[in-house]
Structure 1
Amino acid sequence: MYIKVKITRSLSAFMLSGGVLAGCSDGGGNAGAQSDAGKQEEKSLRIMSGVIGGKTPEENVLFEKEIDRLTGIKVNLDKPASDYDQKLMAAISSGEKFDVLQVSKETINKLVDQGVLAPLTDKVKSSKTLQDPEVIPAQEWDQVRTKDRQIYGVFTKYQGGTMPIVRNDWLKKLNLQEPKTLDDYYNVLKAFTEQDPDGNGKKDTYGLTTAGMYELQGFFSAAGLKQRYVEKDGKLDVPYSTDAAIPVYEWLHRLYKEGILEPNFATNDSGKMRNLFLTDRVGMITYWDAWVGMFNNTRKEQDPHTQFEAKGLAGAVGPDGKHMLGRGDPDVWVVPVNAGQPETAFEFIEWWHSKDGIVLGSMGIRDHDYTENGGKYELTKTGKEHAMDHGVPFWYSKKFQNPFGLLPGVKEAQALLEKHASLELTPAKWADAEKIINEYSFKAILGEMPAAEAVKKMREQLKANQLID
């Protein structure tokens, strides 16, 4: 549910393009400026987005027209169908000009270091909309402040968190209790693998699958270990590379060795993982709270009588008796320094937090995804399939309540996050550390190296590359 953008340092073309274009002149500039002085510039924006927009290229055009209808701003919305990270990187590196970009908090520090982003601190502070605590709670802004206390990004939505998600109908069918400890999780996942929970008489189900090492916080919670980085006494460390992580890697290897962990977990992307869960192949995944409701909604739309029930779990209890889940890095709008219409860009960003902006980002396009009559909304067949998510499944503002309520299971999942989740610490060098962590984690889980040795090697590599203190 958030975008992780990997940006290289080859951004000189992007930085120079504005200056090069500004320096071109045929000597007739003054006359042109005088003739156009009285004309009002048409408001238009070029936006690049990873998840916000239409679900298809054709619907994306409707999305652009809807923004124009609601704001008077003509928008060219570039929403790649895949490989958003690489395409955004290529666009910036080649000097393409955008007015607004959708990025994750992880990306902001990289872009700020390169001088790519315009600071928005003063605009945010003077914005009646964004300073309204009913629109965005004041404490949330600390998530997006840089070390120098500047704000470069404004939230696109309320970002939830991740957790183990279980087939609760399978728990009920097999008379199993919700797992609390790591041993409990093992027993449940083993039963999902061996006791034919889908009832087809075949041994074709798995207990767990993941998208690589994606969001395993709920299991490392058993050892009291936070995902990504932690900072103590001014020093950065990666808990997954410590000896305390060894039992969790050994537990995951046991699942793999016994055929409980779906064998393609290491190469799955999130789409393949979701599909295995939706098609009764696997009983548990690790994913976003919003998808608890989307899974339930999808299956209900396919079959109104389905017994399918997804449910979020708190993860394994730690040695201190507490659970540890992860809250996602904020997803934000940013404005590049070479934006053609920076004022219009910020006007759009403010509007995004209005009722009309929220409706578009969640319900979608009027008379396509929903109809409205006298303040009463009704989703179309297409709108129901889109599950109230055009990039904004949840929002901060209390001034507009979801007219349909939350999808089944989401409220309970969010309650677990409020109780147990916290933000990860994601410094700019995280991407380099992640490669090393993944390499040796997979070796441990797949049994290519004993867990203790894999952790030792992982730590040595992180230190050698100056990725931990």
Structure 2
Amino acid sequence: MKKRKLMIPLLASMMMLVSGCSDDASTSSKEKNVKKDGKVEELKVFMHASNGYFIFNDDWATFKEAAKKTGIKLKGTAPKSSTNSAEAFNLMIASGEIPDLVHGQKKYLNKYGMEGAFLPLNDLIKKHAPNIQKYVKEKEGFLKANQGPDGKLYMVPYISDGLVAETYFIRQDWLDKLKLQMPQTVDEFYKVLKAFKEQDPNGNGKQDEIPYFSEDNILGLGTLWGAFDGLYLENGEIKYGPYEAKFQTAMENLSKWYKEGLIDPEIFTREKSREYLLGNNLGGASRYYPGSTAGYNDALKDKVPGINFIVMAPPENTEGKRIEPTKRSDFGNNLGVAISAQTENPEKVIKYLDFFYSEEGRRLMNYGIEGETYEIKDGKPVFTDKALKAKDGNIVENLRSYGSQVPFSFHQDFEYEKLWMNPIAVKGIEEYTKGNFFAEQIPNLTFTEEEEKTLTDIGTQITTYKDETVQKWIMGSEPVNLEQFKKRLDEMGFKEYIKVYNAAYKRYQDS
């Protein structure tokens, strides 16, 4: 890390040395990085995300289409053999050869932007990017959520659309068979799960039902007792759920539910829970992403006749509140694209990024190629059969094979999801949106390099200890002891950890 800190402030000097050592020392930056191909210029882009799940592909059809519209085509530079995105990013930075466009996480783009690797974009956007500037003006808080600690914007973010992230699900067909009403409170939910366990709703004569399941997300149930899994906002202060008194009550109840067999005994280790438990007619209720989860009703209709796994509202908790702890961000997903300080024509590059915030560019990134993955009907995009009948029924993966719905710089359109979602998901999302069940969300905060180090060093210890302890508590191998837990967190530096978050939140409010 010391070497990397030294390199970026001296980036220009290093590049002179690199050029001097090359066989092409007299070749200008423009000649090296922008190759002419008729009327289309070539820019280099680094994109390596989710440990290799997203690596820029020169053959992505959406970016080829964008080249026709903008006169700029992209050439990917990220190593396709790497499965470690952080390592690939760091190696790119350390090389001193920064491509024209760099995709990455906000904290790293801000860090190296302040050290000179990337250009501040505020003035470039105002002068040359009307579509991005329109979004900045319309979305109060956009700049605060994405700028660096120095108040400058170093990336054009990828922004999801819609509000709903996760929802509760329950087997309506099991409720009907047992003549039970939809649970409205935490106590009613408990009684329903008990009935699922004891009254054989799958009708096989065995007590093999798994009333509640998830994939290592059991703490999503904590809000049923007013507790949160991690950081949350309350009365203008950031708090850490496992440090608060309500967490003890939540853990005691979840341990009880687990002991009674109401929670998947393999909840901490089971993978692909939906495929296995729904596919074998064993699972009763859960919390998951609504779009993909509702799709199991279609995928399993032949294997599990009558399956009706529907969205249900969050049960009223012990305080009489319906709380959904997750929500999509209005301002970005902490991912975006920065412009290299070495690029020859930053005005042209920002105009290229601005295309993806235009109506035409946004449609391209959301829906793919007109005439192939979508058509316009009554003035709106509609997916073609080719898109909808994707391999394994996964339209999102199909779109990503074209380069659409990859986390580049663009603003998602939630309508694209509605076009392929099971109506159960659409109805559930509308219910959650109308009910406004969402807990107040912590905005995207910006931290100094020193603060990032504190959060990483202390936060890693806290998260590891919390996960290990919670598992022991819920599985009953240790009694719930919040005071002892808090004492250990304090020894790890918890007070400094939470202080950093609240300092960053105050800066956000004051900016």
Q: What is the distance in 1 between the residues matched to 2:314 and 2:212?
A: 13
Deviations 1:368-398 (A, max 9, x none): 5335589664422443433456474999688
Correspondence for 1:359:
363
For the pair 1:416 / 2:435, whether they are aligned, the reply is no
Give the % identical residues.
20
Partner in structure 2 of residue 294 of structure 1: 292
Residue 444, structure 1, aligned to residue 444, structure 2: no
Q: TM-score, normalised by structure 2?
A: 0.69
Match of 1:275 in 2: 275
More displaced stretch, 360-369 vs 318-327: 360-369
How far does the alpha carbon of each residue in 1:256-301 deviate from its partner, in whole angstroms, 9 at most, with x for none?
22222112221345xx13424652442223223xxx2333345426
Separation in structure 2 between the aligned mates of residue 162 and residue 416 of structure 1, nearest angstrom: 10
1:197 to 190, 201, 216: 201
- Flag the 1:36–1:21 CA change in 2: closer, same or farther, 3 A: closer
Question: SS at the partner of 2:85?
Answer: helix
Decide whether the 8 Å contact of 2:362 with 2:411 is kept in 1: no
Partner of 2:385: 380
1:252 to 2:245 alignment: no
Is it true that 1:43 corresponds to 2:42 in the alignment?
A: yes
Compute the displacement of 1:213 (Å): 3.8
Give distance in 1, aligned partners of 2:464 and 2:313: 27
If each structure's helix is expressed as a fraction of its own residues, which one has the higher value? Answer: 2
Distance in 1 of aligned mates of 2:469 and 2:166 = 23
Determine the C-alpha separation between the residues in 2 that align with 1:35 and 1:224: 58
What is the distance in 2 between the residues matched to 1:213 and 1:81?
31
After superposition, the Cα gap between the structure-2 partners of 1:284 and 1:336, relative to the gap in structure 1 and judged at 3 Å, is: farther
- What pairs up with 1:257-268 in 2 under 5 angstroms? 257-268=259-270
Mapped to 1, the partners of 2:151 and 2:305 lie a distance apart of 50
CA contact (8 A) 2:214 2:286 kept: yes
Aligned to 1:327: 327
| Partner secondary structure for residue 423 of structure 1 | coil
Relative to 1, partners in 2 of residues 1:236 and 1:59: Cα closer, same or farther, differing over 3 Å?
Answer: same
Q: What are the superposed Cα offsets for residues 125-164 of structure 1, whole Å, 9 maximum, x if unpaired?
A: 5542134369964455554355555444523322642232
**In 2, are the aligned partners of 1:323 and 1:420 still within 8 Å (CA)?**
yes
What amino acid sits opposite 1:380 in the alignment?
Answer: D
Closer/same/farther in 2, CA of residues 414 and 463 from structure 1, 3 Å limit: farther
1:306, 1:340 → 2: CA distance? 59
- The worse-fitting range, judged by mean Cα deviation, of 316-325 and 179-188 is 316-325
Q: 1:10 to 1:398 in 2, by over 3 A?
A: same
CA contact (8 A) 2:375 2:383 kept: yes
1:229 Cα offset (Å): 2.1
Flag the 1:213–1:68 CA change in 2: closer, same or farther, 3 A. same
Paired residues of 2:171 and 2:309 also in contact (CA < 8 A): yes
Does the 8 A contact of 1:129 with 1:135 survive in 2? no
Distance (Å, rounded) in 1 between the aligned partners of 2:3 and 2:322: 42
Residue 244 of structure 2 corresponds to which residue in structure 1?
242
- One-letter code aligned to 1:282: G
d(CA) in 1 for partners of 2:296 and 2:58?
20
Alignment partners' CA distance in 2, 1:210 and 1:459: 27
What aligned pairs does 1:381-396 form with structure 2 within 5 A after superposition?
381-384=386-389, 385-387=393-395, 390=400, 392=405
Does the alignment pair 1:75 with 2:69? no
TM-score, length of structure 1 as denominator length = 0.75
Structure 2 counterpart of 1:5:
none
The amino acid across from 2:384 in the alignment is L
Cross-structure match for 2:463: 434
Match of 1:283, SS state, is: strand
2:485 corresponds to? 458
What amino acid is aligned across from residue 483 of structure 2 in structure 1? K
Aligned-partner Cα distance in 1 for 2:342–2:274: 37
> How big is the alpha-carbon RMSD for the aligned residues of Structure 1 and Structure 2?
4.7
Given candidates 10, 16, 20, the residue that maps to 2:14 is 20
For structure 1, which runs of at least 5 residues remain unmatched after alignment? 1-7
Report the Cα offset of residue 223 of structure 1.
Answer: 3.0
Distance in 2 (alpha carbons) for counterparts of 1:23 and 1:458: 54
